[in-house]
Amino acid sequence: MLIMSKNLFKFLVMLLTLSSSKSQGQQQYSGNSVMNCDESDETGPSPSFLYTCNVEKPSCKAYLMFRTQPPYLSVSSISNLTSSDPMELSRINNISTSEILPPDNVVFVPVSCSCSGQYYRANTSYKCSNETYFTIANKTYQGLTSCNELKRENPYGELELVPGLNLHVPLRCACPTEEEIANGTKFLLTFLITWHDSVPEISRKFNVSVQSVAAANGFSVENPEIYPFTTILIPLATEPHGAQLRWSFPISFPYSAVPHVKSYNWLRVGVGTGAALAILCFALLLGFLNFKKKKTTEASGRLKDRLPEQFLDKVVGIGEILKIFKYDEIEAATDNFSPQKRLSESIYRGILRGNLVAVKKTSTDVSKEIKILSNLNHFNLISLYGVCEHDGVFYLVYEYLEEGSLKEWLCRENSSSFAHSWSHRILIALDVASGLDYLHNFTAPAHVHKDISSRNILLNRDLRAKIANFSLARENVNSHSSYVVGEKGYMAPEYVEAGEVSPKVDVYAFGVVLLELITGRGAVFVQDGEEVLLSKAAIEAEVNELIDPRLQVKNPLGYAIDQSEVGSRLLRLSIACLNPEPSSRLSMDEVVKGLMKIQPDIYNPQSFSI
């Protein structure tokens, strides 16, 4: 009863928070509380984590401000860091994709912003070096995320951050409220505050009123006090552009955040105190990094006692990237591989070192899969936490995704109508496309997954998609395979007929997955007692016959709203991926752009419920 009362209290607080954000302004400004890595949001959303979802718009296009700093001085490096579209980033900032920018230049980053749990976020991932959650949030990402959210989002403690770990990084973004949209706001820009900034000056740069900025951030119009190394939201009627980039201030790492003050005496005291704190923090940081380096060296030295020598030869360096688990830990986590813990034929759910994980048991050579996953770094690709070997059997420990595979989710009849909406379907498609775009265009060498299917796409509790099962993936592209392996209905014709492997086989399979999202049917289904390929049926049928009935939208009077326009646009995109000629298929970056153009147009208030 006590637990129920506590949960009810938290729910009511959350509703009140959402309600007040709607009436008082879009968000509440965090102030310098965001620098505290021990904040709590148990009683409701806190600006010390991310920006709070409003109930009116679950997803949107948003923009982030980023100041160039080594090694992030090019379109490709910044887009990799933020998982944004490099072509869009290049266009908005009027810079070429090959240009090397000077340090301290302002760049606008376009992102797909969506509500997940209590907060909006644009998801990316980051490969850790000798860093802490605080330095990643405030130095690398310049305050575009928070150490509180990083700690919650990742299964590693502060002392477990060793070089090579893949971290999930939710970036600060937000969508406008109905009131802001009615006042002409189309986008919200997450603006990075630095020294000398003031709300009137920032408002003038973007040609917006001080009142609208104050309303968007929940602070006073008369005396809006802002702090360096924090963010505020700028409501924009149009997308930001290069003409607004003409200012530049050096970035200083925020050892201590100090508010703007009017007295020069206080400024001198603040600078002196800040310098002293900086020296102290630098000394502590050096000690911490030396401690971590010692732990990493010790871990690497013990690695040979835990994995076979011939396996180590194939995966040189994984000791610095992955955790090496003991067999008794794996056994305990899965209750000795209990049938109740089994998720599929060879995958088990378990709790390992306090984290919910999925354990894959296999006797095949996993060195290639481990090497590939250890070198990949993207939110929409499954994370490999560690590995174990026992009596010739390998156990791969992955992050656990609560909703299971996309195939299972689409077949689930008891899913809520809120879950089965165009908004979620397109976001899932965009997640998968973004993951494949990263594999094809942002890894060196490029990778081909080679086994894309709804079975190998997993969903977390917020219905965000991640690509899994890299057992068939390969680094070298545009090659031939001596044997054909894959799931019926997803394999490209050139792969089936001649064993040709290129990124276009993934594009073809994605086209089938997109059809599954549109129709709710499997890649192969039975009709009139015969097996039918979805890719063939989609070309021959009418659009309205194809659309999943669960996606039907009704207006307040109960009449069905015509969905053929949305369905037609997605269907055309899918068919462009399914062209029999590989060279005529879209590339994954073109698919991402196509989905991002469709995504804003599908929003309809009647499609969503609280």
Model confidence at 2: pLDDT above 50: no
Model confidence at 80: pLDDT above 50: yes
Annotated catalytic residue within 41, 451, 506, 548: 451
φ, ψ of residue 467 to 5 degrees: the values are: -80, 130
Residue pLDDT, tens place only, 433-450: 989 998 998 887 889 999
Cβ neighbours of residue 259 closer than 8 Å, sequence gap 6 or more? 32, 225, 226, 227
More confident residue, 241 or 338: 338
**For position 284, what pLDDT does the model report?**
54
Name the strand (E) or helix (H) holding 563: none
The neighbour count for residue 410, using CB atoms within 10 Å, is 20
Among 42-46, 358-362, 453-457, whose mean pLDDT is lowest?
42-46
What DSSP string describes 389-403? EETTEEEEEEE--TT
Distance CA 179, CA 23 (A): 9
Distance CA 164, CA 308 (A): 21
- Res. 260 pLDDT band, cuts 50 70 90: very low
More confident residue, 17 or 55: 55
Nearest Cα residue to 442 out of 74, 80, 78: 80
- Res. 425 pLDDT band, cuts 50 70 90: very high
3-state secondary structure 355-377: EEEEEEEECCCCHHHHHHHHCCC
pTM of the model: 0.60
Residue pLDDT, tens place only, 93-128: 988 887 888 888 899 999 999 888 889 999 999 988
Residue pLDDT, tens place only, 149-172: 999 888 888 778 888 888 999 999
User: Can 328 be counted among the known catalytic residues?
Assistant: no
**For position 237, what pLDDT does the model report?**
92
What single-letter DSSP state applies at residue 138?
I
Q: Mean pLDDT: which of 149-158, 257-266, 416-425, 511-520 is highest?
A: 511-520
Helices marked H in 303-421 — which ranges? Answer: 309-314, 327-333, 367-374, 406-411
DSSP, collapsed to helix, strand or coil, labels residue 508 as helix
The arithmetic mean of pLDDT across residues 457-473, rounded, is 92
Given a contact cutoff of 8 angstroms between Cβ atoms, the answer to whether 524 and 394 are in contact is no
**For position 156, what pLDDT does the model report?**
84
Helices marked H in 195-237 — which ranges? Answer: 199-205, 210-217
More confident residue, 236 or 355: 236
**What whole-number percentage of the chain has pLDDT above 90?**
39
Given a contact cutoff of 8 angstroms between Cβ atoms, the answer to whether 365 and 380 are in contact is no
Mean pLDDT value across the chain: 80
Residue pLDDT, tens place only, 547-597: 998 887 665 555 556 677 888 999 999 999 999 999 999 999 899 889 988
Residue pLDDT, tens place only, 34-49: 777 888 888 888 888 9
**For position 545, what pLDDT does the model report?**
84
**For position 248, what pLDDT does the model report?**
45
- Res. 366 pLDDT band, cuts 50 70 90: confident
Given a contact cutoff of 8 angstroms between Cβ atoms, the answer to whether 295 and 163 are in contact is no
**For position 329, what pLDDT does the model report?**
95
What single-letter DSSP state applies at residue 5?
H
Strands 323-324, 384-390: pairing is: parallel
